[in-house]
């Protein structure tokens, strides 16, 4: 069969793409900085001792605004793509999406409670506001996923089909709860909720970045170690068990990694869709379904794709910004339809 790209070429290509995306994310933006200034500012930022006269603006824009944003984009893109791979493995279906286990709708519910509840109590204090929102979103995502997981467990076994239905039901329930909060919200709170639902890398700061970076690193280092077991899981749960895989444990890990990863990503940047669905597909089209290649390649591809989407979001309406969820939907939905029409390879 013709796989388009060999693994080595794929990794080299994706790494180059990721570096390019990172560079463009640092170098381009509504404020136009001379290229050399960006280079020098970046070097100084990572600790290279170069003289810094005349670089104040570049250091500010690159160091305080673009760099945290780029890191956020890399982490969110990477962890969303990884979670997509995990879910497609868990449900043994290439059309699965991290949202199936309820983490996205749970996070949306958590955020709605924070936004609407907060304004009902006289507004969130400025210092706490963003942290409280992120925390509520994260807890909401974990909470709903935990519930979905529990519902899917029977006699010490996790029934994936039951989990799927539970996920659908809880997503619908969370959706109506969010609807209720939307009703209770006033105009301004409504707008905030809407924008949160559309996702954004705006306002990234180093302080809020660390939890997400740690979670992403954790998931990105852990999942590839389970690559062969994940391959076996695709044969079927009993087949994988006969090959010696601890299937229940693996399923638990997959759900946990997804809940943690997507929960943290959504808490940091709102809801950004389609990365988890589309990126693993793209990588499979290029290099096949072997998780030993798919997992690391998806991290690179997801990170690059999100950064490119963010560039579009930042530049197309400058000085205003388009919510990034709109860009990923615009890129992702047509691609997804194309995949469906094309049928399975």
Partner 1 sequence: MRLSTRLVALCAGLMISHVSVSGESPQRWVSAGGALSEWVSELGATSRLVGVDTTSQHPESLKSLPSIGYQRQLSAEGILSLKPDLLIGTDEMGPPPVLAQIRGAGVPVEMFSAEADLASLEATLAHLGRLLGDEAQATRLFQDYQQQLQVQQQRVKQIQTTHKAPGVLLLLGHAGGKPLIAGKDTAADWLLTHAGGHNLATHTGYKPFSVEALAGLNPQVLVFADRSLTGEAARKALIKESPILSVIRAVKEGRVYEVDPTLLVGGLGPRLPASLKQLTTDFYPAVSADQ
Partner 2 sequence: MLRTDHLQVRRGQNLVLADITLDIRPGEVLGVLGPNGAGKSTLLAALCAELEPSEGHVWLDQQDLSLWSGPERARRLAVLPQTSTLDFAFRVEEVVGMGRLPHHTGHARDAEIVHAALQAADVEHLAGRSYLALSGGERQRVHLARVLAQLWPGQSGQTLLLDEPTSMLDPLHQHTTLKAIRAFADRGAAVLIILHDLNLAARYCDRLLLLEDGRVRALDSPQEVLQPEVLKAVFGLDVLVQPHPELGHPLIIAR
Cα–Cα distance for residue pair 271/317, rounded to 1 Å: 20
Cα–Cα distance for residue pair 76/68, rounded to 1 Å: 12
Cα–Cα distance for residue pair 293/331, rounded to 1 Å: 24
Q: Which of 125, 244, 319, 341 binds partner 2 (CB under 8 A)?
A: 244
Q: Does 316 bind partner 1 (CB under 8 A)?
A: no
Q: Does 6 bind partner 2 (CB under 8 A)?
A: no
225 binds, among partner 2, partner 1, none (CB under 5 to 8 A by kind): none
Query: Is the distance from CB of 215 to CB of 79 less than 8 angstroms?
Result: yes
Q: Which of 65, 146, 173, 312 binds partner 1 (CB under 8 A)?
A: 65
Question: Under the phi-then-psi rule, with left for phi > 0, alpha for psi from -120 to 50, and beta for the rest, what region is 227?
Answer: alpha
Cα–Cα distance for residue pair 321/97, rounded to 1 Å: 27
Q: Does 40 bind partner 2 (CB under 8 A)?
A: no
* Minimum CB distance to partner 2, residue 228 (Å): 6
Which is nearer to partner 1, 214 or 317 (by Cβ)? 317
Q: Does 45 bind partner 1 (CB under 8 A)?
A: yes
Q: Which of 30, 50, 56, 92 binds partner 2 (CB under 8 A)?
A: 92
In angstroms, how far apart are the furthest CA atoms of the chain?
68
Q: With contacts defined by CB under 8 A, name the span among 13-21, 46-54, 99-107, 238-246 that binds partner 2.
A: 238-246
Cα–Cα distance for residue pair 136/338, rounded to 1 Å: 36
Beta strands in the chain (DSSP E): 153-154, 157-158
Q: With contacts defined by CB under 8 A, name the span among 2-10, 173-181, 247-255, 312-320 that binds partner 1.
A: 312-320
Of residues 100-129, those binding partner 1 (CB under 8 A): 126, 129
- Residue 120 structure tokens: 């009902």
Q: Which of 127, 161, 187, 238 binds partner 2 (CB under 8 A)?
A: 238
* Neighbouring-strand partners of residue 157: 154
| Contact positions vs partner 2 (CB under 8 A) | 1, 92-94, 228-229, 231-232, 234-236, 238-239, 241-246, 284, 288-290, 344-345
């Amino acid at each position: 069969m013709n796989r388009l790209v060999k693994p080595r070429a794929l990794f080299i290509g994706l790494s180059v793409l990721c570096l390019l995306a990172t560079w463009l994310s640092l170098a381009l933006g509504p404020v136009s900085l001379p290229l050399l200034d960006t280079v020098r500012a970046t070097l100084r930022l990572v600790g290279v001792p170069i003289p810094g006269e005349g670089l104040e603006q570049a250091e500010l824009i690159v160091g305080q605004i673009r760099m945290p944003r780029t890191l956020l984009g890399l982490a969110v893109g990477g962890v969303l793509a990884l979670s997509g791979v995990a879910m497609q493995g868990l449900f043994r279906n290439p059309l699965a999406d991290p949202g199936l286990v309820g983490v996205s709708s749970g996070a949306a519910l958590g955020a709605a409670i924070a936004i609407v509840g907060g304004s009902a109590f006289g507004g969130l204090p400025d210092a706490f506001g963003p942290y409280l929102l992120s925390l509520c979103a994260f807890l909401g995502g974990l909470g709903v996923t935990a519930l979905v997981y529990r519902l899917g467990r029977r006699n010490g076994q996790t029934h994936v089909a039951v989990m799927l239905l539970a996920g659908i039901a809880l997503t619908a329930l969370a959706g109506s709860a969010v609807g209720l909060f939307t009703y209770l919200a006033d105009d301004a709170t409504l707008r905030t909720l809407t924008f949160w639902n559309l996702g954004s890398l705006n306002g990234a700061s180093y302080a809020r970045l660390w939890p997400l970076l740690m979670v992403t690193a954790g998931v990105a280092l852990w999942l590839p170690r389970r690559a062969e077991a994940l391959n076996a899981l695709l044969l079927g749960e009993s087949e994988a068990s006969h090959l010696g895989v601890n299937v229940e444990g693996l399923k638990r890990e997959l759900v946990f990694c997804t809940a943690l990863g997507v929960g943290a990503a959504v808490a940091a940047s709102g809801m950004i869709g389609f990365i988890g669905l589309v990126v693993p597909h793209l990588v499979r089209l290029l290099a096949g379904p072997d998780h030993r290649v798919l997992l690391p390649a998806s991290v690179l591809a997801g990170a690059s794709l999100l950064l490119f989407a963010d560039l579009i979001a930042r530049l197309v309406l400058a000085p205003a910004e388009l919510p990034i969820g709109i860009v990923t939907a615009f890129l992702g939905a047509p691609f997804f339809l194309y995949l469906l029409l094309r049928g399975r390879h």
